[in-house]
Amino acid sequence: MSDTDVLVIGAGVAGSLLACELQQAGLRVHLLEAGGAYDRQRALRGYRRAWDRNFQAAWPDWPWTIVPHLEEPEHYYGSQPLPGYHPAFIKGEGGTTRVWTGMTPRFLPADFRLHSHYGVGRDWPLDYQQLEPWYVQAEHRLGVAGNSSQDQGSPRSAPYPMPEIPLTWGESWMAGKLKKHGMRLVSSPAARNSRQWQQRPPCCGSNTCTPVCPSGARYDAGVDVQRAKSLGVRVSSQHVVWKLEHQGKYIVAAHAKNPDGESRRFTAKRIVVACNSIETPRLLLMSATETYPQGLANSSGQVGRNLMDHVFLFYRFSTPEPVWPGRGPQAVGHFLHGRHGAFRRRHAAAKLFVSNDADVMSQTTHMLNDPANWHRPVERLRQSISHSAALGAEVETLPASGNRLRLDARRRDPLGLPLPRIDYAISEYSERGEKHWHEELLRIIALLGGTPLKVKRSLSAHHPCGTTRMGDSPRDSVVNADGQCHDHPNLYIVGGSVFPAIGTANPTLTIAALSLRLAAHLKAVLTGK
């Protein structure tokens, strides 16, 4: 007899939402998480002590399981050709939503039909209208603030649960300057309270959304992990699932190690892998047997392949008048051009956005490097920061078989499990898009009368997707439109790893919508309702 009805592996946004929905339907649910529980106050203390305040700075490491660090990604991924692809994430109850900025744009309808419309990339096996009701539910579950009357390209059947967070002073200045040039800068939908919502307070503008929201106004999945516990979900943190066990084509158990390296076996009628796009294929590949030598769910050979992310471009520039960054959330506005158009036949689209992060530390370091600034440094720093702004672009990439994750048997984590190795390069299509949006950002800066100061480029916006893509055919995909593995009828996958194409939207809202959609499917299968 199975220990439970549904075993969910991974307590991020996908796994925690799924667990809550299924438990409320009367099913027995067990949620496993590799990391531990997080404490917001401890995270705030860690952030205050940190010198490099990157998005992992506030949160502790777990000695029994490692994650890729921004400062030392080779420890997790191994050496790669430069520039390397090093998406970072955290483990623990709530997953990487503990550190996200909370941006929740929907995919555009054309993002689901990229190949049909433009002859590039790959279509999803479902369309926008099929997912739209689940977007509505996801927005209410996460608590999304947005302007319901504003057309951002994704038709809506219901309003946002909260009004939008207004543009900051600096963004309003930019919007006014650029309006006469036909550019619209608008408030982005975000899982960040603009008023009291679900016992969470409104945003107080602390400007530390990443790495930690001090008040809890910004959603993180730790909220739903706690809700799952209150509903009766059995939650087992500090359990690193390292192998799935099969009998014939059915998955009958998951094996998980505790911090001491002791392994336990958990059985269930249905097993859902709700890890990220790195850890999900890693688990499936580690579960290889004589029957499935390429790993589980991998008769197509697509597990670990088709890895995608957004190429990240970031431009800090000086402004001719003060714009006062650092007051309010770190990110509020984005532009309404760039995400869609006939140009997608030729080059990649991008989401263009404004950053409201003052970046005090790097500006202070830069200023003090010049002895000329040592006279009256506070006044000079105030002048520098108040007259600085930042724009960015997240450029879409296409699925490619050669962009893949494999296991590296020579490198092991603290529990002796093989670490991943990644091969990654962007296509000419994305390179053309990157060049185009680079020039567009410089044009916007010039229209604002600004002077570029600092440019950053990365192959990763820390939005890894793909690696277990969905599709209609078991020959070239891993799961169907419901997230059910073609090879194993009782094994499901949910998360960014099932995306066939990435578009330009931050992936979290779409992950949440797919999780709620999967919950409805499993409830129907297991309860008949």
- Residue recorded with tokens 């078989």: 401
What tokens does 279 get?
């850890």
pLDDT of residue 244: 98
Find residue 312's DSSP bridge partners: 394, 458
427/501 Cα distance (integer angstroms): 14
Report strand pairing: 404-412 vs 263-273. unpaired
pLDDT of 273 over the 80 cut? yes
pLDDT of residue 383: 83
pLDDT band, very low/low/confident/very high, at 235 (cuts 50, 70, 90): very high
- Catalytic machinery residues: 463
500/243 Cα distance (integer angstroms): 25
pLDDT of residue 27: 97
Q: Other CB atoms closer than 10 Å to residue 521's CB: what's the count?
A: 14
294: exposed, middle or buried (C-beta count within 10 Å: 0-12, 13-18, 19+)?
middle
pLDDT of 148 over the 80 cut? yes
pLDDT of residue 461: 96
SS3 441: helix
182: exposed, middle or buried (C-beta count within 10 Å: 0-12, 13-18, 19+)?
exposed
pLDDT of residue 59: 82
Contact present, 346 and 120 (Cβ < 8 Å): no
Find residue 491's DSSP bridge partners: 271
With CA atoms as reference, report the closest residue to 302 among 43, 68, 485. 485
pLDDT of 268 over the 80 cut? yes
pLDDT of 18 over the 80 cut? yes
pLDDT band, very low/low/confident/very high, at 364 (cuts 50, 70, 90): confident
pLDDT of residue 375: 72
260/238 Cα distance (integer angstroms): 10
17/233 Cα distance (integer angstroms): 11
SS3 22: helix
Residues 6+ apart with CB under 8 A from 367: 373, 377, 380, 381, 384
Rounded mean pLDDT, 466-483: 98
pLDDT of residue 363: 73
pLDDT of residue 346: 98
Task: Give residue-wise pLDDT tens across range 394-417.
Answer: 999 999 999 999 999 999 999 999
Rounded mean pLDDT, 197-205: 92
227/225 Cα distance (integer angstroms): 5
Rounded mean pLDDT, 359-373: 74
Total length of the chain: 529
SS3 373: helix
Task: Give residue-wise pLDDT tens across range 317-344.
Answer: 999 999 999 888 989 999 999 999 999 9
pLDDT band, very low/low/confident/very high, at 47 (cuts 50, 70, 90): confident
Distances (CA, A) of 471 to 35, 267, 476, 479: 31, 28, 7, 6
pLDDT band, very low/low/confident/very high, at 372 (cuts 50, 70, 90): confident
Task: Give residue-wise pLDDT tens across range 488-503.
Answer: 999 999 999 999 999 9
Rounded mean pLDDT, 264-275: 98
Rounded mean pLDDT, 44-54: 77
pLDDT band, very low/low/confident/very high, at 40 (cuts 50, 70, 90): confident
Contact present, 509 and 105 (Cβ < 8 Å): yes
pLDDT of 76 over the 80 cut? yes
Contact present, 496 and 309 (Cβ < 8 Å): no
Average pLDDT, whole number, for the chain?
A: 94
pLDDT of 359 over the 80 cut? no
pLDDT of residue 318: 94
pLDDT of 369 over the 90 cut? no
Q: 3-state DSSP helix/strand/coil percent for the chain, to nearest 5?
A: 30, 20, 50
pLDDT of 381 over the 90 cut? no
pLDDT of residue 115: 97
Rounded mean pLDDT, 109-122: 97
Q: Give the rounded percent of residues in the chain with a pLDDT score beyond 70.
A: 99
pLDDT of residue 117: 97
